[in-house]
Copies of this chain bind each other. A is one copy, B any other.
Amino acid sequence: MSKPTPISGFPEWTPAQRMIEQYVLDRIRGTFERYGFAPLETRAVEPLDQLLRKGETSKEVYLLRRLQADPDGPTGDDALGLHFDLTVPFARYVLENAGKLQFPFRRYQIQKVWRGERPQEGRYREFLQADIDIVDRDTLAPHHEAEMPLVIGDALRSLPIPPVRIQVNNRKICEGFYRGVGLTDPEAALRAVDKIDKIGPARVADLLAATAGATEAQAKAVLALAEISAPDASFADAVNALGVSHPLLDEGLAELVQVMQTAAEHAPGLCVADLRIARGLDYYTGTVYETQLVGYERFGSICSGGRYDSLASAGAVAFPGVGISIGVTRLLGLLFGAGALTISRPVPTCVVVAVTSEAQRAVSNRVAEALRARGICTEVAPSAAKFGKQIRYAERRGIPYVWFPGTDEGEGEVKDIRTGAQVSARAEVWQPPTADLRPVVS
């Protein structure tokens, strides 16, 4: 067969990069668990009608079809599609299992998602997300909206990546303000403001006029709101200075003030109130979050989310929630591309046990067993070649030690192939320096 080639949008890391990814995921998961989030995985597929319930995502779904299926089979609402995020499946899971869950329900979920995008530079069609959400029955206390950035701040601080800045806004501020200045289609206004980083304020003003029916004065007010940004609760004064009033605006301001005050109290410098943050997906109803890597702002948001009040509701019962999602593939793709993340070797192996002859392979196996029993990752050399060749096997993989079994089975010699230093050692007790035990991510 001819040599296979990559498929655009479906990234595959090298084993070394995958080791870095696992390190990152272990750290993220550890933080999520320290905050009491329980793990969940949902199936990769949802019925199409679930996927299309909210938001402007219909063009991004991959539908599934069995190769041998009746071509006239289900293509309607029953058709299965791959999930494009972890929030919609989670909302479905909550509705399906509400009777068995304890509320408020705190869960984290780390899974691949898929988007049927057209192939395009830097656009992933398969990528990994790490989400936390808190969902309650009927009402959800606002302090959970303040907790989200703290968890994420902790999780990202535990990683060997640049510091982050979480930008926070509240949709109620935008909607209340837009209504307060007399606009009747706040969603259209929000969609226009969402483009401000891409197209600039002048063209947003045009868009506001065209799609939200804004007068020049209204557009100016909307843009003035979007310009407000503050590292603390002082943003509220700046909003009030614009002289617009609306009950929803007041509600949003109070909520965002609480988020900013909690952040100032527990993680000074982490959050910025940034009133231009909108988030594309339609299901957010309160606080929204985006996250920049300091020094890499051009990368865009690597972690986003918000509060949603009506994503999960069944009849009279609603399950309001708040969640945030780390774009793991996006984050790693950017940092790999910038050469900003490396690992000390591309295999877990710390020791290669040399093999004297194939007939003596069992002796080397026993040395390896003794080392592994104490948690030292060990391979036995694949062939009883000359020792020089066996050392090169280790060298080419960045494995620091080669063990030469002696005649007495427990006793041998271990060589640090970086320095050439070789010492007698017993497999039951020899211990490599901690720095060599596992590959080190930096």
Contacts and interface: CB of A to CB of B under 8 A. Distances in A.
B265 A348 contact: no
Nearest to A380: B147
A36 B95 contact: no
A379 interface: yes
A5 B314 CA distance: 13
Q: How many identical chains are in the complex? A: 2
A265 B38 CA distance: 43
Interface string A351-375: 0000000100110011001001001
Interface string A96-126: 1100101010110000101010000000001
A182 to B, nearest CB: 34
A2 B317 CA distance: 11
B36 A349 contact: yes
Contacts of A53: 1
A19 interface: yes
Of listed A65, A92, A150, A369, residue having the most chain B CB within 10 A:
A65
Contacts of A366: 266
A54 to B, nearest CB: 11
Interface in A129-184: 136, 141, 143-144, 147, 150, 154
B112 A378 contact: no
A377 B36 contact: yes
Contacts of A295: none
Nearest to A140: B382
A203 interface: no
B34 A377 contact: yes
Contacts of A432: none
Contacts of A22: 39
A396 B105 CA distance: 12
What is the interface residue range for chain A against chain B? 35 or more
A45 B314 contact: no
A13 interface: yes
Contact of A43 (B11, B48, B369, B377): B11
Contacts of A44: 10, 44, 112, 114, 126
B1 A95 contact: yes
A88 to B, nearest CB: 11
Contacts of A59: 66-68
A47 B372 CA distance: 39
A39 B36 CA distance: 28
A133 to B, nearest CB: 12
A40 B15 contact: yes
Contacts of A37: 348
Given A7-B43, A45-B126, 6 more contacts: A1-B95, A18-B38, A33-B348, A34-B376, A34-B378, A68-B116
Interface of A: 1-7, 10-16, 18-19, 21-22, 33-45, 47-48, 50, 53, 58-69, 80-82, 92-93, 95-97, 100, 102, 104, 106-107, 112, 114, 116, 126, 136, 141, 143-144, 147, 150, 154, 262, 265-266, 313-314, 346-349, 358, 361-362, 365-366, 369, 372, 375-380, 382-383, 396-397
